[in-house]
Amino acid sequence: MRMPRNHLPALTAENEFFWRAGELGVLRFMRCQACGHYVHPPLPICPVCKSREVRDEAVSGRGTVLTYTINHQVWEPGLEAPYLIAIVEMDEQSGLRLTTNIVNCDIQAVSIGMRVRVLFEQCVDVWLPLFEPDPDSSGETSAQSARSNTAANP
């Protein structure tokens, strides 16, 4: 199901890398070069160590469903209910989360702890990060997942 995307993010110098990285099939976040902390939403300074040495870096695009809701309300014309909204925590860092949609599966099959991977939907000049079940997780649980994974090389 393709959802209507009537409310797209405004591109700015600070967030353009995030919204356009999907064109290359890559999910990118700001990362502090001093302490390694990922920063999202993008900021010009690390909230952990206060360094201004932050730059965007690619991540694995894999994560875990922390929570979700199935929405049955049609809030605007063209929206098909029900649809699923989830918070996904990325493997690279505890607390690195995105609010997103889970797609390409029956909504009743989604569960907390489900392993997912990113895919992108182009809408005008942005690429929205959505998530789908990760077929490569082979039963891996979030506790086993790679908090030990490192970010992909940019």
Q: Which parts of the chain have pLDDT scores under 70?
A: 1-5, 138-154
CB 92 within 8 A of CB 60: yes
User: What are the pLDDT digits (tens) for 19-54?
Assistant: 999 999 999 999 999 999 999 999 999 999 999 999
Instruction: Collapse the DSSP code of 13 into the 3-class scheme (helix H, G, I; strand E, B; otherwise coil) and give the result.
Output: coil
Spatial distance between the Cα atoms of 38 and 29, rounded to a whole number of angstroms: 7
- This prediction has a pTM of 0.85
Instruction: Collapse the DSSP code of 10 into the 3-class scheme (helix H, G, I; strand E, B; otherwise coil) and give the result.
Output: coil
Looking at residue 138, what is its pLDDT? 66
Looking at residue 79, what is its pLDDT? 80
Looking at residue 80, what is its pLDDT? 85
DSSP 8-state assignment for residue 64: E
Looking at residue 139, what is its pLDDT? 56
